Amino acid sequence: MTSYIDVKNLSKNFEAINAVKEISLQVEQGEVLGFLGPNGAGKSTTMKMITGYLTPSSGAISIAGINILQDPISAQRHIGYLPEGAPAYGEMTTYKYLDFIASIRRIPRKDKKDRINNIIDRINLNSVANRKIEDLSKGYKRRVGLAQAIIHDPNILIMDEPTDGLDPNQKHEIRSLIREMAPKKAIIISTHILEEVDAVCTSTAIIDMGQIIFTGTPRQLAALSRYHDALNIVVKIEDAEKTKKIIGEQSDDSKVEEIYSGNEIRITAPLKNRKPCSDVIQAALSREKIVPREYFFEKGRLDQVFRDLTSSAQDSIKETP
Amino acid sequence: MNQTIAVFKRELEAYFITPVAYVFIVIFLILNGLCTFYLGDFYERGQADLEPFFELHPWLYMLLIPAVSMRLWSEERRSGTIELLLTLPMSTTSAVIGKFLAAWAFCSVALMGTIPIWLSVNYLGEPDNTVIAAGYIGSLLMAGGFLSVGACISATTNNQVVAFTISFVVCFAFNLSGFPVVLDLFSSWTPQAVLEVISSFSFLSHFESIKKGVIDIRDIIFFGSLMTFWLYLNVVVVELKKGK
Ligand SMILES: Nc1ncnc2c1ncn2[C@@H]1O[C@H](COP(=O)(O)OP(=O)(O)OP(=O)(O)O)[C@@H](O)[C@H]1O
Ligand SMILES: [Mg+2]
């Protein structure tokens, strides 16, 4: 079976800049790939090549088994694309804009109205259907972009920072929508927001300076954190010294993190060995009559892994096996 | 085909949505009226025809057509919608033709606004209306020629002002290339053959006979192949920019 999206050794050079270097990716039906990376990493450039907007300098892209370089139009029929910043024809109303897209996408005249109204309902665009897109708020503009991308119910959905700059409610709604569509499609989203990866993605690829430096599930990504499975404990400030001493014996000192807030301290410490060490700590705490306000094990911190992986890519790759 | 029509409709509506379109048409009509009736000695000539009116068009178009064509592609590049347009399942050729035809239709509407001038010569005298009709056809062809130049140039930049300026210069050159004064400049040092090629590109000389009422197939072929050439170049520019 061919993958919905199959990218091999993709590279793109802009004059002197090698924006993308030898990237390979596969996305199957039901998969939501979170494309992560710092600014200028090459996420948008990769997406632009996958959707046929930019011609790669080298490499191959297959969309539902079709080589997009040889037959762009057939490949593009399978794709819905939300470019970065959701560009749209501002002088058009939402309805007319969707109507234009539907015509270009050859949605038959008799189905067109239903299809547009359907999508307007689904994405909650009713209140702005007859307003000019340039007058809409950022959130609505983004939704119009999303509506445009899914109006033909594509197998493949590529979204460049779909929730960038939206308020938490809107973010939540768009994520729900993506999750809802996910089972039938192959989806790539790019994002800077790590919680988004947790919230919607089934797999992630981290790209830095044009190269993929990590691929795996969000869980595997979290596991790279040095705080993965770290003990997280909050105690009163009076107990801080004793607690630190108890934990220090079960942990590697250099990695213990302390955060003071008010009259409490939060200590985060990766333990040498989770279960036995935890038992020892709990026994010691109760001996000292210290009752922690919180006591749990972290899953790992995506933002910290992200920073470690991308700040100096070369070094941290060696560090993490 | 349907896609070309969709692009055409969208573009044409985009022209009329903005007040700029109406300003443009008003300027076009005022300039036409002024120049025809005053500069063109419309009354003094004592002839009932529209020759001074058509005489003007190459010069009017040189200035006004780049203003119509400048937004066709530059605006898409500036606003980022080009990314949308080029990732829709549609050939670049369809988009190029749809946009060009919309601009041409817009110019036709502006030109139709001059029909009262035609009516007034009929009221004032007894002009040869077939000559005038030929003049209109020629004027429209010439507008298409200028537009195809402007559309192609607009695809090279994301700045409408740059698109306007370059198109203006190129259109100016197309007009001038048939002018005796300009040809004299070349005649001393260029071979006759080159000179003929230069002058054969002149819009003026191809428009010359049409506006006198003689529709020569060679002139039609000239404008037709000129448009084809520039629109083809337009497609090439858009395609090449993808690989930049
Ligand atoms: N048209 C272009 N011409 C020249 N360089 C470009 C062009 N487009 C992108 N680049 C360069 O390619 C690199 C990758 O850019 P890209 O937009 O793909 O990054 P990104 O990962 O999407 O970043 P962001 O998170 O900020 O959106 C950057 O260094 C950028 O400056
Ligand atoms: Mg980007």
Do A243 and A109 fall into the same domain? no
Do A260 and A288 fall into the same domain? yes
Do A76 and A189 fall into the same domain? yes
**Mean pLDDT for chain A overall:** 87
pLDDT at residue A49 above 70? yes
* pLDDT, tens only, A265-290: 888 888 777 777 778 888 888 888 88
| CA of A242 vs chain B CAs: smallest distance (Å) | 60
Which of A32-46, A52-66, B15-29, B94-108 has the lowest average pLDDT?
B15-29
> How many domains does chain A divide into?
2
Q: Under 8 Å CB-to-CB from B34, ≥6 apart: which residues? A: none
CATH number at residue A273: 3.30.70.2580
DSSP type of residue A183: G
Residue A126 lies in a domain: yes
Contact B86 A52 (CB under 8 A): yes
pLDDT at residue A321 above 50? no
Residue A310 lies in a domain: no
Q: Which of A88, A91, A103 sits opposite B14 (nearest CB)?
A: A91
Do A174 and A240 fall into the same domain? no
Q: Which of B16, B84, B92, B235 to mutate to test the interface with A (most CBs of A within 10 A)?
A: B84
Q: Is B180 exposed, middle or buried (0-12, 13-18, 19+ CB in 10 A)?
A: exposed
Report the pLDDT value the prediction gives residue A167, as an integer from 0 to 100.
Answer: 87
Residue A116 lies in a domain: yes
CATH number at residue A211: 3.40.50.300
Report the pLDDT value the prediction gives residue A45, as an integer from 0 to 100.
Answer: 96
Do A172 and A238 fall into the same domain? no
Report the pLDDT value the prediction gives residue A265, as an integer from 0 to 100.
Answer: 86
Residue A204 half-sphere exposure toward CB, CA atoms < 13 A: 26
Q: How many Cβ atoms are within 10 Å of B37's Cβ, its own excluded?
A: 15
For ligand 1, whether the C-beta of A50 sits within 6 Å is no
Domain containing residue A264: 230-297
Contact in structure between A37 and A206 (CB atoms under 8 Å): yes
Residue A321 lies in a domain: no
Q: Which amino acid, B232?
A: Y
Do A211 and A238 fall into the same domain? no
Q: Which stretches of A130-259 are DSSP H helices?
A: 138-150, 168-181, 194-200, 218-223, 240-250
Report the pLDDT value the prediction gives residue A211, as an integer from 0 to 100.
Answer: 92
Which of A87-96, A189-198, A277-286, B92-101 has the lowest average pLDDT?
A277-286
Q: Which stretches of A1-55 are DSSP H helices?
A: 43-50
Question: Beta strand pairing status for A32-36 and A203-208?
Answer: parallel
* pLDDT, tens only, A155-202: 999 999 999 878 888 899 899 999 999 999 999 999 988 888 888 999
Tallying the residues shown for chain B, one arrives at 244
> How many domains does chain B divide into?
1
Do A169 and A253 fall into the same domain? no
Do A175 and A254 fall into the same domain? no
Q: Under 8 Å CB-to-CB from A168, ≥6 apart: which residues? A: none
Domain containing residue B68: 2-175+203-240
Q: Which of A55, A104, A144, A151 to mutate to test the interface with B (most CBs of B within 10 A)?
A: A104
Residue in A closest to B241 by C-alpha: A54
Do A69 and A109 fall into the same domain? yes
pLDDT at residue A262 above 90? no
ipTM: 0.88
Residue A154 lies in a domain: yes
pLDDT at residue B128 above 90? no
Residue A311 lies in a domain: no
Ligand 1 atom at minimal distance to the Cα of residue A48: 18
Residue A191 lies in a domain: yes
Token pair belonging to B179 = 């002018």
Contact B84 A148 (CB under 8 A): yes
Residue A71 lies in a domain: yes
| pTM for this predicted structure | 0.86
* pLDDT, tens only, A104-155: 999 998 999 999 999 999 998 999 999 999 999 999 999 999 999 999 999 9
Report the pLDDT value the prediction gives residue B98, as an integer from 0 to 100.
Answer: 97
The residue whose CA has the least distance to atom 19 of ligand 1 is A40
Instruction: Give the span between the Cα atoms of A90 and A104, in whole angstroms.
Output: 18
Contact A91 B87 (CB under 8 A): no
Q: How many Cβ atoms are within 10 Å of A159's Cβ, its own excluded?
A: 27
* pLDDT, tens only, B17-48: 888 788 888 888 888 887 777 665 656 666 66
Do A170 and A142 fall into the same domain? yes
Which stretch of DSSP H or E encloses residue A236?
strand A231-236
* pLDDT, tens only, A58-76: 999 999 999 999 999 999 9
Report the pLDDT value the prediction gives residue A34, as an integer from 0 to 100.
Answer: 94
User: B191-225 as b/e, with b when 16 or more CB fall inside 10 Å?
Assistant: eeeeeeebbeebbbebbbebbebebeeebeebbee
Q: Under 8 Å CB-to-CB from B59, ≥6 apart: which residues? A: B175
Which stretch of DSSP H or E encloses residue B59?
helix B51-69
Opening angle at CA B79, ends B76 and B83, nearest 5 = 60
**Mean pLDDT for chain B overall:** 85
Do A156 and A283 fall into the same domain? no
Please tell me which residue, A29 or B125, carries the higher pLDDT value.
Answer: A29
Do A114 and A235 fall into the same domain? no
